[in-house]
Structures are given as structure tokens and as C-alpha cells.
Structure 1
């Protein structure tokens, strides 16, 4: 990948000869497919979500996340046009703001409002993906700037556990979750997943390759399959690669982001993986048990506490991670590649949480109910 094809390297002004550039080259799949996600989002010619709307919304989302360089990049796009007062644009903005600032506040009626304003099912999915992607992109850029010794000028934010859903039933009447857990959960969409029979042979093959043919979540995201493919490959490039940060600690970062955003489903999956890989169920459960408004790293080992503190601060909106936190990671033995892994794992869940929280909700399967 050349520098001109790597937007984040350009915006972060990464020296191609630096240790950071080498670490990103080591994580080639994550680097390429993060760029690939950007290229798909801003090259598609979809009448139900035109490019002018995409770049205008991207610039606004970047601003909410405190990413000035990213905002300026999208505002300078040749297709950029300010959004007007049309119901479609105003509903799109309201949805984007909720996803950006407080995704746990999303509810089925917000998707209904988009549909009534003229958004197609594919358009709604792509809008959620766009907001999630810019949330990821802005945090990854903030992390890359930190790794270059540059601290963001965002206002200080308390990086504490966020609130989460407290309703005892889902929209469809299934038993909902009101506390974080390591149990295996179900997830139901608020917008219908695309039936498998409506995918052509190549599209079905792609879903099968990733092992997600039976997943409502993935068949929902597959309403924009090229974007889903790049996102999935980005995920694999961040979490399933050798060396650097131990896998358990990447899963820890995903769990921390999910606690900040109030995403019980994502936390259940990744806390369970962290617990299994680290062989420390008690430490992971202690993290899950932190109440809203409390500090997430309390009572953890020094290394995990340092990782949790940075991941939590990177996950708030706008991100508030600091050079002091990065230095603490170095003191606990994390080199540049391991620091990059922690930042990318955290940033990715700014994307994943926002999809899970705003397109559907978790439920407790009947066979798990006591």
C-alpha cells in the first residue's frame, strides 16, 4: 500500500521509516482493510444513500468525535454538500448523532423514523456502518497521533462505565439482559435480516466463508455486502494475528469499549474469550461487574489496569486517551506493536458496539433461562 492509498498514514503524518510504520506494516491486513472499508464507503454509487450525503454525514460525525483532521478531509471532498432541512437529512443526522454520542439510547422507533423519512433498508444499514466506521477511524487516528507523541486537544472526559439497557423484555418480548455477563446470548435485529435465498451464489459463498450464513446480524449487514466484507477482514486483521499484544488483552480492550458504550452483547462475547485465554475469570468478571459511573480499572493487576485505562479513555466521545497513559503501557512492557494492537482492538469496538446497539438488541436464549 502506498502512502497516497493510506488515508490514516497521511492524516497522522507517519514517517514511512518509523517504528510505527513498521508496526502497521506488520499488521498489514488491518491496515489494508481499514483503508478498504473507507474506499468502499466513499466509492459506492447507491441512489438510496448518495455520496454527497455520505461525506456530509462523515464530516459531522468526525466533528462529534473531536477528529478535526478527519472532519476537514471529508468537508474538502469534491462531493461535499451541506445537509438541508429535508426530513430525510434531519432524520439521518439525528440517527448519526445518537450513534456517535450515546448509542445505548437507540431504539426500534429510530429505525422506523428513518424508514418513514425515505431511507431504504440498505441505506439504514449503510448509515449505521458509516457512523460506526468514522467512530473507529477517529479513534484509530487519535491513537496513531498518540503513538507519534501528539496529544489531542479534546476536553477531558471521565472514562467510566456507561449505562446500559434496563428493560426486562426485548422489542419482540424475549427476555432481555439488564446486567453484563459471560453467558452466551442471542441477538435479534430491529430491521429484517436479508433472507439467505435472496443472496446470489457468490454472496452466499462469501457468507459461508466467514461462517455467518445463519447469523441474522451478518445477513442484516450483508445488505451492503462489499462493506461487510472489508469490515470483517479488518476485524480479523486486528484480532487474529500473531505476535504483539496477547490475544487475551485484545479481547480485554474489546470488553472495556463495550462497558463504556453499554453493549452487553459484545461484552459477553469478548469477556468470555478474554477469560478463557487469560485463564483469569475473576479479573474479567470484576471488570464486567463495574457499575455505571465507576472506574473500570479498579482492583485489576497493574498491567491490565494500564491497558483498561487507555482503552476506556479512547472509547469515550470524544476520545480522551493521553500520552501519560501510553507511557504507562511502555512501563508495563508494551512495545509499539503491542500498543498499536491495543489501540486498534479498542477502536474497532467503537464500530462494533454502535452496530449491535443501534440495529438490534441481545436476549437470553430460552435454554439459558433458569
Structure 2
């Protein structure tokens, strides 16, 4: 496996973070996230990747930045495209925002990219299978899905860091802690530990089924088996991991990013990271991810009242000012990353979040821009059979 790497950190560069700035300093307190984010970028844009051509991948990334309104990432990917050898007429048309009608394969790639960027919940099996029909092998489809999901993550990390830089330093003070009133379980809700079902969302355990062929363990390469063994105790029996391991290097980097964001010590509480994850999943329409992270919030917080609110209507959800600020920032960065700025962080700062807690919140929101797009567009949730 060829390991092509960049010397510069793309997020630091694109977000224009000075190494003397508070935003730079706090970002590099989470160096595992920094390193694995860059590793994901390097893997996804490696010229030797067994996926769509480098030009096709850069065109997809350029399209995402344009659709999302990220001027800085649009400029970055345009610069990468300009460094390639001569582009075809269809590829140049795609850069100009026109349909590449003379290249059906590129048309299919960009149509898939648009769906995942704008409304990932609209992705279905028929939309996914347009890619194999256009000539993409399964490993190429996985590379493309990972790339689109990664750039969705990347642009939200960049937007969040720019907003944090504009917000200014928190003075290095510890976050204020406000004692909440003792929790009284709402009488109208199932008790914690019982299944919550609202508007098609649930806290019960769901399965997930891939729409593409999964890797046969008997035919897996040593690299694929090693990544499966390191990813999750149940990865070898999971459709999710066995479909993503068609691209083992990308899965390995993505798993590192995820774990470094969700389980890092200090900073935002684990329960609040799970709350942000559940909000993003509810906004994106990912029933599977919402179920997993609703469960994890409840296990950590020992309550389900805010999850009921999020499942009912995310806008305005939260049982106190801090939760409401976390929920609203999660909604704003999910739906409108190009408009996300210091104003969208004022409420979380007022609620007492430190720079590190705000960074952890941005990361949790961004990683579910990535996770939801894989879950929604490579397969489907499977509900338990009725008793």
C-alpha cells in the first residue's frame, strides 16, 4: 500500500490558523484528530488510490465546496485541479458548474455527490446503484462515498475553527458549572432504559444492511483483516465495516478520527458529545445513528428527556440553557456551514463552554456529517422483527 502524505496540514492552512492563535493552540490539543484528519485527506487524494481517478475525486470535492458555499475549500480544490495535467472538456465543464454530458461516468459521480451533500437522506439503493451501472467497481464506490462524507466533515471543521478564531480567546478560564436541579423524570415518557419511539426515530437497537457486496472474510487481504480486527470487536460480522473495508486505509483513518473525537478525555462531556451526535443524526434523517447515540446519551446521562425533545422537534430542544445552546449550534453547523460564524457560538460561550469544549462540539457535529452520509447512502437500518 503506497502511503502518500502531505507536508502541510490542510485544515490549518485553509482555515488560515496562525500558529500563535488561540484557535490553533486548542486545535492541537486534539492532535490525534489533527493527524488522522490529515491522514484521511492524504489517503482519499492519494494518486495511487484504487478508486475513481484523482481528477474525478478532486472534481467531487470541488463540487461539494461549491454546493456548500465554502469559499476557502472551493479555492483549495480548484488549486489542486489546476495542478493536474490537461483536463477533458467534460471535466472542465464540471468545474464551471455545467453538466458533463459527454462523460456519463462523471455525471453519475457528481449526481451522487450532490445528493450526499445537499440531502443525504434522499440517497437510496437505486441512487447508489447508478454508480456501478456507470462503470464504478465496488471499491471505487466506497472510495467516493468516503470522500464525499469526509469533505462534508472537513468543511464543518474548517467553518467551526474559523468561527472559534473569530469568537476570540476564552481567557484560559475553566468553564462555569451551573448546578442543575435534581432530575425528575417526565411522567409522559418511557422510563430510562425503556424504548423511546417518536416520529420514526427510536432508542432501540437497530441492525444495518449494506446495499453493496461486503468483503468475504475468506478472500480478504491481510490489510483488510488487520483493519477489521482493529476497528471494532464485532467488525467481522458487521455489514458496515465489511463494506467499508473495501478501502482499508480509509476505514482505518476514519476509525481513528471517530474514536479520537468521541472518546478523548477532558473537554466536552461524553454525554454532550452524544447529544450533539443525536441532534445531527436527527437533522440529517439518519434513524440508525440517532438510535445508537440516543442510547449512549441515556446510558451516560441516566435520562432521556432531551432525546425525546430532539426526536420530536430539534429546534428549541434542550432542558437548560447549556443543552439548548449545544443543540442549536449542532443544527446551525449541520444545515448552514457556510453561514456559521462567531455569532453562532455566542450562546455556547455564554453557557460556559471553554475553547476546548467548543472544539469538541464542532468535532462531534462534523464527524456525524461523515458518519450519517455513510449510513444513509451505503445501506439501510433494519428494525427488529415484531414479536
* TM-score, structure 2 normalization: 0.83
- 2:32 — aligned with what? 29
Distance 1:309 1:115 in 2: 38
Q: Does 1:58 align with 2:77?
A: no
Distance 1:258 1:250 in 2: 12
SS of residue in 1 equivalent to 2:215:
coil
- 2:184 — aligned with what? none
Cα deviation, 1:298-349, whole Å, max 9, x if unaligned, reads 3531100000000100001555434223121111111100000000100111
Q: Does 1:280 align with 2:297?
A: no
Distance 1:313 1:319 in 2: 10
Distance 1:299 1:239 in 2: 20
Q: Does 1:181 align with 2:186?
A: no
- 2:264 — aligned with what? 241
Preserved CA contact (<8 Å) 1:37 1:231: yes
- 1:73 — aligned with what? 76
Paired residue for 2:166, among 149, 160, 173?
Answer: 149
Question: Using a 3 Å threshold, how does the CA distance of structure 1 residues 205 and 247 change in structure 2: closer, same or farther?
Answer: same
Paired residue for 2:360, among 318, 322, 341?
Answer: 341
Question: Using a 3 Å threshold, how does the CA distance of structure 1 residues 346 and 112 change in structure 2: closer, same or farther?
Answer: same
Preserved CA contact (<8 Å) 2:325 2:348: yes
Name the count of aligned residue pairs: 338
- Which structure 1 segments of 5+ residues have no match? 152-176
Query: Which one is further off, 102-111 or 195-204?
Result: 195-204
Paired residue for 1:8, among 4, 11, 23?
Answer: 11
- 2:227 — aligned with what? 206
Preserved CA contact (<8 Å) 1:63 1:71: yes
SS of residue in 2 equivalent to 1:188:
strand
Paired residue for 1:224, among 247, 258, 268?
Answer: 247
Question: Using a 3 Å threshold, how does the CA distance of structure 1 residues 123 and 3 change in structure 2: closer, same or farther?
Answer: closer
Q: Where do residues 62-101 of structure 1 align in structure 2 (5 Å cutoff)?
A: 62-77=65-80, 78-79=83-84, 81=87, 82=91, 83=94, 84-85=100-101, 86-101=103-118
Cα deviation, 1:65-121, whole Å, max 9, x if unaligned, reads 111111111111112742432110111111110010011111111122111110111
Paired residue for 1:119, among 116, 128, 136?
Answer: 136
**1:206 Cα deviation (Å)?**
2.2
Distance 1:87 1:3 in 2: 32
Larger radius of gyration: 2
Cα deviation, 1:245-278, whole Å, max 9, x if unaligned, reads 0011111111111111100000101111111112
Q: Superposition RMSD on alpha carbons, in Å?
A: 2.0
- 1:259 — aligned with what? 282
Paired residue for 2:44, among 41, 44, 48?
Answer: 41
Runs of 4+ in 1 over 6 A off after TM superposition: none
